[in-house]
Amino acid sequence: MVVPSAAGRDMSPESLPLGTIPTVDMSAPSGRGELARRLVRACAERGFFKVVNHGVPARAAARLDAAASAFFARPAPEKQAAGPPDPLGYGSRNIGANGDVGELEYLILHADPAAVASKATVIDAEDPARFSAAVNEYVDAVRRLACRVLDLLGEGLGLRDPASFSWLISAVDSDSLLRINHYPASAATAEDASKSGGNGIGFGEHTDPQILSVLRANDVDGLQVLLPDDGRRGAGDEWVPVPADPAAFFINVGDLLQALTNGRLVSIRHRVMASTSRPRLSAIYFAAPPLHARIAALPETVTAGSPRRYRPFTWAEYKKAMYAHRLSHNRLDLFHASGEDDADDTNS
């Protein structure tokens, strides 16, 4: 039975419970087909889910955390030697080049081992090889997880080639990134923060531009996701806190996966709130295609009832538009098939 919602969208009785964040067990206790269906449902209804039994060795995560913590503990001038973010490298408070600020410092690295090696000399001057090894081992493990998820999504969506998504991020010239965020401890409440000029925002609201983001953080809360009002509640979109779980991964659909699936899978808005008494450390692998990759809705996702939503574009073209806009900008709107917005228009 299909129940029409107040908003006119069909709600199958199997829809996820209101306001919940799905957890997906990658060990597939109920079989591969069911796992693929669960992943598609999580990405279509939420664009965000928690993953357990993910297969990423705890040792790889611990090594990355140790390398990152050692870097962030260094004196400011030493850290600044790895910056400013251009857009790769070390940054503090300023996010991107268009006036966004957050209560954090961060490292953005290209995921390619050669690029990691060239940055490692300024990040860990004492032992750059140790830093590179920690990053490469971690990136390798999370890329595998991202590929497994993407292949299952391809299967669940019934694509002729279920590897269409994972193929894009596995290319040797893929433009994937690793970002490590460090939100310093502040005993501040949201009220204290606003008195001192802060706004309680660690990382402002945004969607991730790439294909898939794979996040792991320590045991400090702060991440929130904007769950869409699916019409059953009628109270509008809602910011939902994501309880920390350092043993799990959190995965979200990026803008490119929304475009490739013609809007079937949704790129979710998220943010990090800053008022915490302990530092938050997070690492996010942004799985991206090569710069020249052409992003167009896969034919299986374009139907008479669901016409093409976005015009085809390359990742390079999308990146240009993304860097020209503020963090919170809805970048996919610039690429609407019938939209009047112009992707080269740099006013946000």
Ligand X SMILES: O=C(O)CCC(=O)C(=O)O
Ligand Y SMILES: C=C1C[C@]23C[C@@]1(O)CC[C@H]2[C@@]12CC[C@H](O)[C@@](C)(C(=O)O1)[C@H]2[C@@H]3C(=O)O
109 near ligand X (CB under 6 A):
no
Closer by beta carbon to ligand X, 208 or else 230: 208
Tell me the C-alpha distance between 174 and 286, whole Å.
11
Residue 305, amino acid: G
280 C-beta neighbours (distance < 10 Å), count: 25
Of the candidate residues 47, 102, 156, 209, the single one contacting ligand Y (CB under 6 A): 209
Binding to ligand X in span 261-290, by CB under 6 A: 270, 272, 282, 284
142 near ligand Y (CB under 6 A):
no
For the CB of residue 222, give the shortest distance to ligand X in the complex, in Å.
6
Residue 164 makes CB contacts below 8 A (sequence gap 6+) with: 154, 260, 298
179 near ligand Y (CB under 6 A):
yes
216 near ligand Y (CB under 6 A):
no
Tracing tokens 């080639």 back to the chain, one arrives at: 161
205 near ligand Y (CB under 6 A):
no
Closer by beta carbon to ligand Y, 209 or else 222: 209
Binding segment for ligand X (CB under 6 A), chosen from 142-150, 190-198, 215-223, 332-340, is: 215-223
Binding segment for ligand Y (CB under 6 A), chosen from 149-157, 187-195, 202-210, 224-232, is: 202-210
Closer by beta carbon to ligand Y, 123 or else 159: 123
- Asked whether 295 and 262 are in contact (CB, 8 A), the reply is no
25 near ligand Y (CB under 6 A):
no
Q: Which does 267 bind (CB under 5 to 8 A by kind): Fe ion, ligand X, ligand Y, none?
A: none
Angle value at C-alpha 127, between 93 and 70, nearest 5 degrees: 40
Helices (H), ranges, the chain: 32-45, 58-72, 76-80, 113-123, 128-156, 164-170, 190-195, 255-260, 315-323
DSSP β-ladder status, 48-52 and 23-25: parallel
Q: Which does 223 bind (CB under 5 to 8 A by kind): Fe ion, ligand Y, ligand X, none?
A: ligand X
CA atoms within 13 A on the CB side of 187: 0
230 near ligand X (CB under 6 A):
no
Contacts to ligand X by CB under 6 A:
179, 181, 203, 208, 215, 217, 223, 270, 272, 282, 284
